[in-house]
Structure 1
Amino acid sequence: MRVLIRADASPTIGSGHIARCLTLARVLRGQGSHVAFACRRLPGHRLEALNADGFETFALPERYRDEDPLQAIESMLPWQFDIDALGLLLDGQAPFDWIIADHYGLDHHWQTAARRWAHRIAAVDDLATRRYSVDLLLNQNLSGLSENYAPLLPPGCRTLLGPRYAMLREEFNCEAIEIKPKASRVLVNFGGFDAARQTHHAMLALADFTELQVDFVAGADNPAWTQMQALAETRPNWRLHSFVSDFHQRMTEADLFIGAGGGTSWERAALGLPTICIAVANNQQANGEVMAAAGAHVFMGAREQVSVEQLRDAVGFVVN
């Protein structure tokens, strides 16, 4: 089987779409499929990393004509330009069995046009905010409800809704961790980019908890790196990382996680890792609320509404 995945990464978009699709891609490859990625050359793209992992890659332009470079993550892409750019790369190639689109900016227009390269189209989604022309739709969130999608999907579309379909890496198919009566190790991560500087925000909130051992995994291009480095150098119990290859191991060793409401939510839930969650994008709000209602984490709301003092109080409540 031949599969093409269309997803992007950037400080605005985040790295979560590529991360979860990479999990799927590795499973498909393990089953004998040929998997390729088509991604734009946006700042922070993952094309080289995907290529180094052995996946065929197709590089799309960083910018399309008349496109606003500051547009919101949920804004529609100029779909015809994206299709035209794909055509330059894919026309003349062997057809794909599936194209999987994990992108808030692509809707039924793009999906219909993309059928020239594949008979079947799938969408990975979190929002239920636009029309879809797909054969399969996957939403792994508790907030992904069938009634929300009913008026947006074509007849005969199969839906995979809810966390039973969460795209978890194999290492998270494991027993839950033991929850200790008192927390001593904290892991902080707000995604691969953290454009909202929430790791630095968490550092300020944790400054008074001198007894805690804290790992901050901040992302290589974190905009507050210099300030965080200066803070970490004054705290012998703090370790600041731009990247770690053993993130799962660090999660199993942590007593508390402080992070965003993206794909890591399901990794934390699978481990039963106590978490203080802050939404760093609008698309994380609904699922953050529903997961909190289910008891999966403590949800503090949108980042704009969470002060250093409020986060400090929440940490104190959880660790003491």
Structure 2
Amino acid sequence: MLYFLQQLKILMVSDKPCKTVLIRVDATATIGAGHFVRCIALAQGLTSLGVNVVFVCIAESVDFINALHDFPFQYVTIDSDGVDEINYLAEQYNSKLVVIDGYQFSSDYRLALQKENYQLIAIDDNNDGGNLFADLIINPTVYKDNQPDYSDQKTMTNQPVKVIAGEEYRLLRSEITDIMPIEWSKRSGIGVILGGSDPKSLTIPVVKALTAELNKLGIQPDVEVFIGAAVVNPKGVLEELKRLKQNYTYLTWVQNPVNIGEKLAQKQLVISASGGTQFELYALAVPAILLIVANNQFANSQIAQQQGWAKVLDVRNDFSISDFDIALTQMLSANTLVKSYQNMPKYGDDGALNCALVIKKQFLD
């Protein structure tokens, strides 16, 4: 607790803003960085409306924050998921409004916060984590036609919880939404991105399979690998990539690039984990091979495949090289890539702002 208090004194603002939102979220090698990234998008939307945002996270998340090229938000680290530290923060920032995003937060923890009269906003994907004890639920990953049934979720007064979900509430960072899709004729190459932390360590197996199949097919497009900010053992990944480059000279890589949106937008095909990056790829109109690495990614990835802009592989249990080779060969057809690109009409990039507007109207006005 002492460390928490000392750090808080350093990070606190000098006065107490009357409109502050606390965002409780983590980014670690185990749970990945996707929850944190979409909370950054929400924070961008809130600050654009004049709302102050404070991230509350465990110490391990600081490594990810420090690796980001631009993180303009205040943050405080806490030692546990107890309520006392949140209470202290709430007093210092004059706020009882908390956003919670992450499967590691139990129903007991959420209930304990609700009993302290916090107004809770839950960012959720599948409604499979028990009672959220929320006053507002944001589901930024579903489509309007396949959102979960939240009728079992109730507020403290046993009223139905307000739910906002679907395409118009996608939480996309401004680094993505500020970029317009690039014309097909100006694109080239293949990108590989397995998330901010690559929790299943798929980068090397994917690149190895990709370059081997490209050599087998006798084609040599540029392949650029994006290594996330929270990847475990990045030095080991770099060493393996150097070895793979000996057999495929068109292989390059970059760690935690500043302009990731611009780089992705230039590709004709990206191989990606099926988390939040799939929605960034859609916004940039980039065809993809999506790898399902977590249960919450399954339904939305299937819809992406039905929409005709992606091939989907389920790698939750293992990575099948033969299945990957088939998907790659199918996608690399020039006609398939162009048709995939044409199957990606934009649906608007205002999701973060739309979420922020709902929050402001319901809790802060």
Asked if these proteins are the same fold (TM beyond 0.5), I'd say yes
Query: How far apart are 1:92 and its partner, in Å?
Result: 3.9
Task: Give the structure 2 partner of residue 185 of structure 1.
Answer: 189
Task: Give the structure 1 partner of residue 36 of structure 2.
Answer: 18
User: Structure 1 residues 280, 85: CA separation in 2 closer, same or farther (over 3 Å shift)?
Assistant: same
Q: Is the counterpart of residue 213 in structure 1 residue 213 in structure 2?
A: no
Aligned equivalent of 1:254, options 267, 271, 281: 267
Q: Distance in 1 between matches of 2:114 and 2:62?
A: 28
Q: Distance in 2 between matches of 1:153 and 1:292?
A: 34
Q: Is the counterpart of residue 30 in structure 1 residue 48 in structure 2?
A: yes
Q: Distance in 1 between matches of 2:311 and 2:322?
A: 16
On the 8 A contact 1:185/1:212 being kept in 2, the answer is: yes
Task: Give the structure 1 partner of residue 137 of structure 2.
Answer: 137
> Which of structures 1 and 2 has the bigger CA Rg?
2
Residue 21 of structure 1 aligns to a residue whose secondary structure is: helix
TM-score by length of 1: 0.83
Query: How far apart are 1:180 and its partner, in Å?
Result: 5.8
Task: Give the structure 2 partner of residue 68 of structure 1.
Answer: none
Q: Distance in 2 between matches of 1:147 and 1:287?
A: 12
Aligned-residue CA RMSD (Å)? 2.8
List per-residue Cα deviations over 1:170-225 (Å, max 9, x = no partner). Answer: 342665444469x8500100011113121111111122325110110122534451
Q: Which residue identity lines up with residue 125 of structure 1 in the other structure? A: D
- Map 1:138-217 → 2, pairs under 5 A: 138-142=138-142, 145=146, 148-154=149-155, 155-170=159-174, 171-172=176-177, 175-179=180-184, 184-208=188-212, 209-210=214-215, 211-217=220-226
Q: Which residue identity lines up with residue 137 of structure 2 in the other structure? A: L
Q: Distance in 1 between matches of 2:188 and 2:73?
A: 40
Indicate the larger mover: 304-313 or 252-261.
304-313
Query: How far apart are 1:116 and its partner, in Å?
Result: 7.1
Larger helix share, 1 or 2: 2
On the 8 A contact 2:23/2:54 being kept in 1, the answer is: yes
On the 8 A contact 1:205/1:309 being kept in 2, the answer is: no
List per-residue Cα deviations over 1:271-316 (Å, max 9, x = no partner). Answer: 2211000112222223222332333421111343431232122212
Residue 83 of structure 2 aligns to a residue whose secondary structure is: helix
Q: Which residue identity lines up with residue 215 of structure 1 in the other structure? A: E
List per-residue Cα deviations over 1:153-179 (Å, max 9, x = no partner). Answer: 332421011122101123426654444
Query: How far apart are 1:91 and its partner, in Å?
Result: 5.9
Sequence identity of aligned pairs in percent? 25
Q: How many residues align?
A: 300
Query: How far apart are 1:123 and its partner, in Å?
Result: 0.7
On the 8 A contact 2:30/2:199 being kept in 1, the answer is: yes
Query: How far apart are 1:115 and its partner, in Å?
Result: 4.5
Task: Give the structure 1 partner of residue 244 of structure 2.
Answer: 231
- Give the unaligned 5+ runs of structure 1: 65-80
User: Structure 1 residues 101, 244: CA separation in 2 closer, same or farther (over 3 Å shift)?
Assistant: same
User: Structure 1 residues 93, 253: CA separation in 2 closer, same or farther (over 3 Å shift)?
Assistant: same
On the 8 A contact 1:274/1:297 being kept in 2, the answer is: yes
TM-score by length of 2: 0.74
User: Structure 1 residues 244, 179: CA separation in 2 closer, same or farther (over 3 Å shift)?
Assistant: same
List per-residue Cα deviations over 1:115-166 (Å, max 9, x = no partner). Answer: 4777421011112011121111011223685552111333242101112210
Higher relative contact order (CA 8 A, sep 6+): 2
Residue 59 of structure 1 aligns to a residue whose secondary structure is: strand
